[in-house]
Amino acid sequence: MNTQQVETFLKLQPQLKSAYDEISLLSAKNPTDALNKYKLKFINSILVRTNEILGEEYKPFRNEFDLFDENDMPNNGDVVFILSHYLTSLEKLRCDNIVEAGIGSNWFWVVSGEVSDKRTDRPTIK
């Protein structure tokens, strides 16, 4: 990953997690209720950028899913299902691009093939 990709990742991952958390709450109450168009617009915007950073290698459901269709409004449970897979894919991408370095088992991003000074959490996926 290059510096811009890491910066994009660091913005997208919390946005996606926040959307996932919000829709999970809705899904817990009413999993089959349709998501509204306003929320779907923002979720699709996040997914467009997430698809770009994940690329074909990490994108979940490569040939089956890109974005939600506004004409076939997804329900809360469907959105939670998809977003959870995207979060897992982002974590896999992160884990594949970090290394343990320095004293105290610190983890850092690898940027353009070099260990950077950008710290991160330890990997959760091998």
Q: pLDDT (tens digit, 9 = 90+) per residue, 86-103? A: 999 999 999 999 999 977
Closest CA relative to residue 26, chosen from 15, 14, 40, 12: 40
Please give the helix or strand (H or E) that residue 6 lies within, else none.
Answer: helix 3-29
pTM of the model: 0.94
Q: pLDDT (tens digit, 9 = 90+) per residue, 25-49? A: 999 999 999 999 999 999 999 999 9
pLDDT value, residue 125: 87
pLDDT value, residue 85: 98
pLDDT at 120 over 80: yes
Q: pLDDT (tens digit, 9 = 90+) per residue, 46-83? A: 999 999 999 999 999 999 999 999 999 999 999 999 99
Radius of gyration in angstroms for the set of CA atoms belonging to the chain, rounded to a whole number = 16
Distances (CA, A) of 35 to 82, 116, 121: 13, 40, 33
Cα 40 off chain centre by: 16
